[in-house]
Structure 1
Amino acid sequence: MLPLLVLVTLASIAALYVRGDLNPILCDGPCAPQYVTPPEGLATQSPDPDEAATVGSGPIDAGALATAVAGPLQSEALGGRTSLVAVDARDGAVLIDDAEGAQIPASTTKLLTAVAVLQEWGPDARFETTVVRDGQRLVLVGGGDPYLTDTKSKGSSVERADLATLAAATAKQVGRGPVTLGYDVSLFVGPAVSPAWEEGYVGGVVAPVSPLWVDRGRVGAGRSTDPAADAARRFAELLQARGVDVTGTPTQTEASGTTIATVRSAPLSRIVEQFLADSDNEVAEVLLRQAAIKAGEPGSFAGGAEVVAQVLADAGVDMAGLVINDGSGLSRKNRISARTLAETMAEVSETPRLGSILSGLPVGGFSGTLEDRYVQSGQARGLVRAKTGTLTGVHALAGVVTLSGGRPVAFALMSDDTEGVNPFVTQAALDRVVAAMADCACGA
């Protein structure tokens, strides 16, 4: 018999594995789905073995699905303007089209941003932050790595590049100096702050968009109002700590000369997974510009919006009423229809290049912004993967729900007229609609 200490140790390791605490060691970050033991209830339901040959082979019963959601959709907590569109994720057939036209999407806008950047760059793309030297002049060049950090973050799957590592590599090339330092943010153009954002957002809930920042422009509980300059000043301090004599104050400029040091971001697939799970506004805006740049458009709000529209058009997604002012969904002037979102999620479900969108979506009752939702919703727990969207009076969900029997349905549910309702009550009402779909034995 094994000693008690050995048994306890093995049990502890098993618990850590299931929780994912060993992922940074085993997988260099979050493990891919095939290497993870799913929590009870998270795996897609499998049909009875005797029925395996027939379940899921026929069309979904659209009438039964509509009947299942009819009652929950009548809730007064959803306000006076609610849309629900559901699409068979396997063949694109529209199952429910109960829509009010284009509505305020809030953070479900991030789904379109993720689709655009992955289609343009591919999941393996990485973004570089570099140092260029011209004589005794150094320039820190922002390459649009949204997760660039001050120092290396242990175990993070996305915070792969850091200024401390870049400073160490630079110091080896330049010795003790003296040198001057500039910073180049010319990768992005146009306004760093959307004119469609409400006053007070910048510095409070979002930083000005920049291809160069550390820790996503965060300063304590707030945001920097000049993240590129802050990053350059920090880089100067790190160089000085390495013995490099940096003279003067870093100034904005455009780089010319020879690249002497480089750090690279995490793969785009990891970045997309993380920003969707966290619903990160700053990362969304950087990725919108990266999509624009790769497509040959200006790295701006407007350039990104053009590319989002083009990518959706190329995929055959309905874009009626589409208006995009940013990549995060902070703008209340954005308009996206539930049809656009549902068809986009159907496209995501069928396109391997976009797989990190699905794997990054919060899971009902388990992770991200849905961790505390669907916990009491029976079969819906673990069967809903969706992006949330929330602004004052606005609530949305868009993603994929697995019906009873194992059939995946892409959906979008939007309400943008709920100012007079407690937001938690509206969230619960939305969850009941989606739970009704999960509980429906509508798959043939």
Structure 2
Amino acid sequence: MRAAWVLPLLVLVTLASIAVLYVRGDLNPILCDGPCAPQFVTPPVGLGTPSPDPDPVAAVGSGPVDATALAAAVAGASASDALGGRTSVVALDARDGTPLVADARGTHVPASTTKLLTAVAVLDQWGPDATFTTSVVRDGDRLVLVGGGDPYLTATRTKGSSVERADLATLAAATAKQVGRTPVTLGYDVSLFSGPAVSPAWEEGYVGGVVAPVSPLWIDRGRVGAGRSTDPAGDAARRFAELLRSRGVPVNGTPTQVEAAGTPVASVRSARLARIVEAFLADSDNEVAEVLLRQAALKAGEPGSFAGGAKVVAQVLGDAGVSTDGLVLNDGSGLSRKNRIAAATLAEAMVEVSAAPRLGAVLTGLPVGGFSGTLENRYDRAGRARGLVRAKTGTLTGVHSLAGIVTLPGARPVAFAVMADDTEGINPLVTQAALDAVATAMAGCACGG
């Protein structure tokens, strides 16, 4: 008799346990085979769909945020010795930009929070539905693979990915149908981008280790095993030649760099820009950031280069009314230690993002505290800030920053930036925890009006 109810009880307990783990988000690494992309994550507590509210104003807090109370709430955390000798904390009401906390120390080395500005610029210029095309043209017996600046182009099709949508294998199959078994030579065109492929402001040793030379043509974001290719366009072209041969197209010789001319043969298109932005912000991808910086420049009529991209970022921010005082950009990823961004610039940019539907992918792509992306393992899952902080991280040796949106009690969104760039000699995990403590203090502040 006992066995008759033991099995159903075990089943119920197992199902209940799975349900709890699912709601908490603990199953995401299993369900997604790693960190879940933004569109697949289980909404954490605090980010679920709110119940219908007949008063839309009441749904996001009916009164102003008490600036004095918020400043007092973060005072202790922002004064932590773990944040080093230079720390800036800026907070603004995300609904209208009202200043709430302004404890700034000029500009800082921003590290990867630079990517927020890159994302804003490329979305502003292209819009969320834009796609980028990789194509093949034919001129007599020569085929040319033309790089179109798809940062997520892959060698072969990736199943289940919302961002890796175009691949060389598919392009080779379409090309082979048009070419047949006619012998050809293969060239590749990377003229879309200009200027140096490697920033002179990057430290020696970055290329090949943590970043690939910037190119409008590469596969798998320039990854080669655990490192990076030093010739990503050439590698892509050689792989394309192999794929053509496997389809029965005789390719003579080795691919060479040329400028394309001829008749279009086949093409593949990237994912929508909104998906690309979500993915690169969640993963803090350096290579993708640099490609998008150039895409923003090209759309604005500037050269597709580091300098052209930096110019367009400043223009986009200025046109939106975002302060650019002291802004210095040498890249779009934040790898350069010569970059300078004020905390107010990042916070004001987040106010603009909150107000402009065209920029919505910046918000949806931001990692969620204690839950996804680069913030997956930060913040206590049971803590008061879990699910209430959406932010971009920035980390270099001696540099830590965090910028995004924190939701206060009463569903009041606050745009914020915390930057510290004098922390060498301090355990980076300790500094990281201190940085998170500032955002946690905001999330727990009963600062409603």
Equivalent residue number for residue 4 of structure 2: none
Encode CA deviations 1:328-366: one digit per residue, 9 max, x unaligned.
000000000000000001110111001111010000000
Choose 373-382 or 393-402, whichever is displaced more: 373-382
Aligned residues: 433
Q: Secondary structure at the match of 2:339?
A: coil
Q: Residues 338 and 31 from structure 1, CA distance in 2 versus in 1: closer, same or farther, beyond 3 angstroms?
A: closer
Provide the rounded CA distance (Å) in 2 between the counterparts of 1:143 and 1:50: 47
The alpha carbon displacement at 1:74 in A equals: 1.5
Aligned equivalent of 2:169: 164
- Which letter does structure 2 place at the counterpart of 1:293? L
What's the offset of the Cα at 1:42?
Answer: 3.6
1:380 aligns to what SS in structure 2?
A: coil
Counterpart selection for 1:66 from 63, 71, 82: 71
Shift of 1:57: 1.6
1:48 to partner: Cα distance = 11
Q: Which residue of 2 aligns with 1:440?
A: 445
User: Cα offset for 1:43?
Assistant: 3.2
Aligned-partner Cα distance in 2 for 1:287–1:50: 39
Take 2:59 and 2:228, find their aligned partners in 1: how far apart are those partners? 55
Shift of 1:47: 12
Change (3 A) 1:341 1:46: farther
Contact 2:400 2:431 in 1 (8 A): yes
Asked if 1 retains the 8 angstrom alpha-carbon contact of 2:53 and 2:59, the reply is: no
CA distance in 1, matches of 2:181, 2:141: 11
Which residue is equivalent to 1:143? 148
Q: For the residues of structure 2 that align with 1:75 and 1:440, how far apart are their CA atoms?
A: 18
For the pair 1:220 / 2:225, whether they are aligned, the reply is yes
In 1, Cα distance between equivalents of 2:126 and 2:435: 34
Q: Offset at 1:376?
A: 5.5
Once residues 30 and 107 of structure 1 are traced to their aligned partners in structure 2, the CA distance between those partners, rounded to angstroms, is 19
Q: Tell me which residue corresponds to 2:104.
A: 99
Identity, in percent, stands at 76
Contact 1:43/1:382, CA 8 A, preserved across alignment? no
1:53 Cα deviation after fit: 4.6
> For the structure 1 residues 20 and 337, does the alpha-carbon distance in structure 2 shift closer, same or farther, using more than 3 Å as the test?
same
> Partners of 1:185 and 1:312 in 2: how far apart?
29
Q: CA deviation at 1:170?
A: 0.3
Gaps of 5+ in 1: none
Task: Indicate conservation of the 8 Å contact 1:87/1:94, yes or no.
Answer: yes
1:12-411 to structure 2, matched below 5 A, reads 38-43=43-48, 53=58, 56-375=61-380, 378-411=383-416
Distance 2:244 2:59 in 1: 65
After superposition, what is the alpha-carbon deviation per residue over 1:285-311, rounded to whole angstroms, capped at 9, x for unaligned?
000000000000000000000000000
| Letter of the 1:169 counterpart | A
- Which runs of structure 1 show a deviation greater than 4 angstroms over 4 or more consecutive aligned residues? 11-24, 29-33, 44-55
Which secondary structure state, in structure 1, belongs to the residue aligned with residue 135 of structure 2? Answer: strand
Amino acid in structure 1 at the alignment position of 2:316: V
* Cα shift readout 1:160-187 (whole Å, capped 9, x = no counterpart): 0000000000000000120000000000
Is contact 2:60-2:413 (8 Å) kept?
Answer: no
- Please state how far the C-alpha of 1:51 moved relative to its aligned partner: 13
8 Å contact from structure 2 (residues 91, 417) kept in 1: yes
**1:378, distance to aligned residue in structure 2 (A):** 2.1
Q: Deviations over 1:72-114 (max 9, x none)?
A: 1121000000000000000110111100001100000000000
SS of the equivalent of 1:304 reads: helix
In structure 1, what is the Cα distance between the partners aligned to 2:278 and 2:56? 34
Distance 2:49 2:93 in 1: 16
CA deviation after TM superposition for structure 1 residue 135, in Å: 1.2
Structure 2 CA distance for aligned equivalents of residues 51 and 108 of structure 1: 31
Kindly indicate whether the alpha-carbon contact (under 8 Å) linking 2:379 and 2:385 is maintained by their aligned counterparts in 1: yes
Task: Give ranges in structure 2 of 5+ residues lacking alignment.
Answer: 1-6
1:37 Cα deviation (Å)? 5.4
Q: Cα deviations across residues 364-421 of structure 1 (Å, max 9, x unaligned)?
A: 0000111111115721111000000000000000000001221000000000000010
Asked if structure 1 preserves the Cα contact closer than 8 Å seen for 2:38 and 2:365, the reply is no
Closer, same or farther in 2 for the Cα pair 1:163/1:433, shift >3 Å? same
Q: Deviations over 1:257-286 (max 9, x none)?
A: 111100000000000000000000000000
Other structure's SS at 1:409 match: strand
Letter in 1 for 2:360: G
Alpha carbons of 1:383 and 1:31: their partners in 2 closer, same or farther (altered >3 Å)? closer
Compare 305-314 and 48-57 and name the one that shifted more.
48-57
Contact 1:129/1:145 (8 A) holds in 2:
yes
Match of 1:297, SS? coil
Mapped to 1, the partners of 2:348 and 2:372 lie a distance apart of 24
The one-letter amino acid paired with 1:374 is: Y
Q: Name the aligned partner's letter for residue 425 of structure 1.
A: V
Instruction: Tell me how far 1:39 sits from its aligned partner.
Output: 3.1
What displacement does 1:326 show? 0.1
Q: Name the amino acid aligned to 1:152.
A: R
The residue number in structure 1 matching 2:3 is none
- Secondary structure at the aligned position of 1:67 is classed as helix
Aligned-residue offset at 1:65: 0.2
> For the structure 1 residues 376 and 260, does the alpha-carbon distance in structure 2 shift closer, same or farther, using more than 3 Å as the test?
closer
TM, length-normalised to structure 2: 0.91
Q: Which amino acid aligns with 1:101?
A: G
1:410-442 deviation per Cα after TM superposition (whole angstroms, max 9, x unaligned): 000000000010000000001111100000010
- Name the CA distance, whole Å, in 1 between partners of 2:59 and 2:131: 43
Shift of 1:30: 5.8
